[in-house]
Amino acid sequence: MKILVTGGTGNLGSELKKNIPDCYCPTRSELDITKKEDVVNFFQNNEIDLIIHTAALTSIRFCEENKKLTWETNVQGTKNLIDATLKAKNNIKFVYVSTACVFDGYSGMYKETDIPYPENFYALTKLLGENEVTKLSNYLIIRTNFVAKTTWPYPKAFTDRFGTYLFAENVASGINEIISENLNGVVHVVGDKKISMYELAKITTENILPMTINDYDGPSLTMDMSLDTERWKKYTLK
């Protein structure tokens, strides 16, 4: 099976490459998803059976301040891939990695059937990407919330933002398992425990400092990013 992984330099893409060592994992110079011609040429020159689309701009503040670039990457880039997939002669399976942030974050423990309501531009673009994916018949939308298992990249972490967090390596394993079961539609890949972002950061960074939303100045955030699932198992954060 020929597998294309977009966003191979990201946290999740890097973990997927470890699990799928013979996948196509082009650099941006080899495949710029924002350029339709690049995408068309790549599909014409490579045999593809499965796409795992992880490439996206994900920094909430950056996305808010760079809406045009974010739209071109997260929405138009996804659309370019979908259009090429629709024109392909073989029935390519398309796996789209989305986010818990498509929900408003007021209640938490969102299931696959709950109605999304984004709080910021980043989340809106990911939801619009989901809508593009549903043009296909053979698709899988993975909603999840993960970080790399490395030192926390900021000096502080929120004690009042919550999620059923996982590490990127957990999500990569989950995606592989779900693909092997040939599930379609929307599936939430979630941790088995709801914790704060501060508790998550403490796992890898003992000296992390606490903060609350009152200490924050920036775009609207999804406060409770916890996901539940009715379609798949839950994973232990480790």
Q: Which domains does the chain have, with CATH numbers?
A: 3-215 (3.40.50.720)
What pLDDT does 54 receive?
A: 98
The two three-digit tokens of residue 231, written as one number: 């379609």
Query: How many CB atoms neighbour CB 207 within 10 A?
Result: 9
* pLDDT reported for residue 238: 84
Please provide the average confidence, as pLDDT, over all residues in the chain.
97
Number of neighbours of residue 47 by Cβ within 10 angstroms = 12
Q: What is the pLDDT of residues 151-194, one digit of tens each?
A: 999 999 999 999 999 999 999 999 999 999 999 999 999 999 99
Two structure tokens written together for 64: 């808010």
pTM exceeds 0.85: yes
Q: What's the whole-number mean pLDDT along residues 228-236? A: 98
d(CA 138, CA 184): 7
pLDDT at 91: 93
Q: What is the pLDDT of residue 226?
A: 98
pLDDT at 89: 86
Q: How many CB atoms lie within 10 A of CB 33?
A: 25
Where do the H-state alpha helices sit in the chain?
Answer: 11-19, 36-45, 60-65, 67-70, 77-87, 121-133, 168-180, 197-204
Contact 47, 4 (CB under 8 A): no
pLDDT reading at 203 higher than 90? yes
